[in-house]
Amino acid sequence: MAEKVLVTGGAGFIGSHIVDRLIEDGFQVVVVDNFSSGKEENLNSSAIVEEGDIREREFLDRVFNRHNIDYIIHQAAQIDVRKSVSDPVYDASINIIGLLNLLELARVHKVKRFVFASSGGVVYGEPKELPVSEVYPKGPLSPYGVSKLSSEYYLFYYHKTFGLPYVALRYGNVYGPRQDPHGEAGVIAIFIGRILENKDLTVFGTGEQIRDYVFVGDVAKVNRMAINLDLRGDSIDDFAFNIGTGVGTSVNELIAYFKEFTGYSKESIYAPPRKGELNKIILNSKKAMETFGISWTPMLAGLKTTYEWFKEKYERE
């Protein structure tokens, strides 16, 4: 019988691509999602959907009693950095308590591996060395970042104490089809929306902020491989992988890419910088490349695929 994977947040941007990938590879998939930002239209029709909130232990108990879960891929989260600053308690209720509910069930039901969506964009703070590798000192600068790093420590604790196997994937700025404009890499979805309507692009600050953008298809591939990855180690970094391309792209460069293949030609509008935004982050992802044997989708190709997807959707609606 096919193995069963629980994907939390499976109706969301990244989660839904992971679900597609798993189903393609013959897994049975159970999606847990409360549809706070996830969408029905993202859902693979072969997935079993359990609608509910990861903060509710009784709901999760029912899910685990109904299904024999082999693996958990945990994507559900409060993902808005600014929301975490304005309401850190709310952030922790989902990102910490929700995680603990799942870890307790993973322990009780002897789940074979727990794969966690961490964030390379926030756990290191503003690093002094680039590209930053997994062992670089951590220094999250927002409650969201603290919740992601704390989650890795909880996972490590469950591994050491109860033997729960796990992998933490520290994503860069993920982009691609189905992306919501509100996430960490929302800028790409926002810009595409504006370009399709031939409206002005607003850049906050100089536009020289650098991010490591990674295509969602690559992230889904790595998650699928991670469920079979057996790791040993003595620190959270031994269980963590930076999932980025190792290439930094500025907002100005992003706009130049779009101009190259869309025909968009408007001058951008520059607005004052947004408080609390990182200046530069580039992830050293050699460890992931060696372990998963993955090569990253080049930016231009990924942007074109993303643009085409949004264009088709725009023309349909």
Ligand X SMILES: NC(=O)c1ccc[n+]([C@@H]2O[C@H](COP(=O)([O-])OP(=O)(O)OC[C@H]3O[C@@H](n4cnc5c(N)ncnc54)[C@H](O)[C@@H]3O)[C@@H](O)[C@H]2O)c1
**Chain residues in the site for ligand X (CB under 6 A):** 9, 11-15, 32-38, 53-55, 75-77, 79, 94, 98, 117, 119, 121, 171, 173-174, 180, 183-185
**Which of these is catalytic: 124, 136, 144, 171?**
144
- CB closer to ligand X out of 111 and 187: 187
Q: Is 257 assigned a catalytic role?
A: no
What residues contact residue 99 under an 8 Å CB cut-off, 6+ apart? Answer: 54, 74, 116, 151, 154
H or E element in which residue 67 lies:
none
Shortest approach of ligand X to residue 76 CB, angstroms? Answer: 4
Half-sphere exposure of 206 (CA within 13 A, CB side): 7
Shortest approach of ligand X to residue 312 CB, angstroms? Answer: 19
Residue 175, helix vs strand vs coil? strand
**37 within 8 A of 15, measured Cβ to Cβ:** no
Shortest approach of ligand X to residue 163 CB, angstroms? Answer: 24
Q: Among candidates 47, 61, 56, which has minimal Cα distance to 12? A: 47
- CB closer to ligand X out of 164 and 169: 169
* Lookup: tokens for 51: 């609608």
* Lookup: tokens for 194: 């504006």
- CB closer to ligand X out of 200 and 277: 277
| First-to-final CA distance of the chain | 40
Shortest approach of ligand X to residue 54 CB, angstroms? Answer: 4
- CB closer to ligand X out of 9 and 165: 9
Beta strands in 2-53 (DSSP E): 4-8, 28-33, 48-51
**113 within 8 A of 167, measured Cβ to Cβ:** yes
Residue 281, helix vs strand vs coil? coil
**91 within 8 A of 242, measured Cβ to Cβ:** no
- CB closer to ligand X out of 28 and 173: 173
Shortest approach of ligand X to residue 144 CB, angstroms? Answer: 7
3-state helix, strand, coil in the chain (%, to 5): 45, 15, 40
Residues involved in catalysis = 144
